[in-house]
A and B are shown apart, each in its own frame.
Chain A
């Protein structure tokens, strides 16, 4: 079975550019999460969706960040304009309805470097 698929795996961009990260959750999973990982702050929850609807976006750092989930199989995290402090690994994770064991299934991450 395919796991959570993220793209791109690596992106290097210049300050001020728009960045779009993509995620395809596991089929049948109703919850989708976006996390950011840095050395300083560890894994931070940015936003999560249930049935394509954003439930909690209190972790989104500022208005430069936005996330959408137009359908059950696709989500995007956009940063516009990007800044060097946005450099991090961004993880998408999904989980089925009812949460089961509580296990989050993570993608391999998108490593973003903003110069």
Chain B
């Protein structure tokens, strides 16, 4: 089963709004990653975080690796319709990657 608690489960927002989602775990992870899944596709990596406390941006996306190594958040600024999809957090230790349950994002034009 999953070890990561991801929230919220779903979000309905207006185009232009900012989005925030997070992931927590009872276990420490060495790497945190955020993936996005478009309908009918496999997940694709958005951002990878390798150090506790690390804050990384990729365009309108910003993610942070929590200082305790047990949590991470992802922010999306100024959302656009193509941001629609399911966002997954993932924690990685050695060769074992575990995923959160996903946040389903809907953006209304």
Give A residues with C-beta under 8 Å from B: 4, 31, 33, 35, 41-45, 48, 50, 55-56, 91, 93, 99, 101-104, 106-109
Q: Which of B20-38 contact A (CB under 8 A)?
A: 31, 33, 35
Question: CB of B88 within 8 A of chain A?
Answer: yes
Interface of B is mostly: strand
Q: Which B residues touch A35, using CB under 8 A?
A: 99
Smallest CB separation, A92 vs chain B (Å): 9
Instruction: Name B6's closest neighbour in chain A (CB-CB).
Output: A42
Interface of A is mostly: strand
Report the interface size class on chain B: 20 to 34
Given known A41-B1, A45-B96, A48-B95, contact A106–B43 (CB-CB < 8 A): yes
Give B residues with C-beta under 8 Å from A: 1-2, 31, 33, 35, 40-45, 48, 50, 88, 90, 92, 95-102
- Report whether A101 and B102 are in contact in the complex, using a CB–CB cutoff of 8 Å: no
Given known A91-B42, A106-B42, contact A56–B2 (CB-CB < 8 A): no
Q: Which A residues touch B97, using CB under 8 A?
A: 33, 45, 102, 104
- Report whether A55 and B95 are in contact in the complex, using a CB–CB cutoff of 8 Å: yes
Q: How far is the CA of A91 from the CA of B41 in the complex (A)?
A: 10
Smallest CB separation, B21 vs chain A (Å): 14
Q: Which B residues touch A41, using CB under 8 A?
A: 1-2, 101
Q: Which B residues touch A45, using CB under 8 A?
A: 96-99
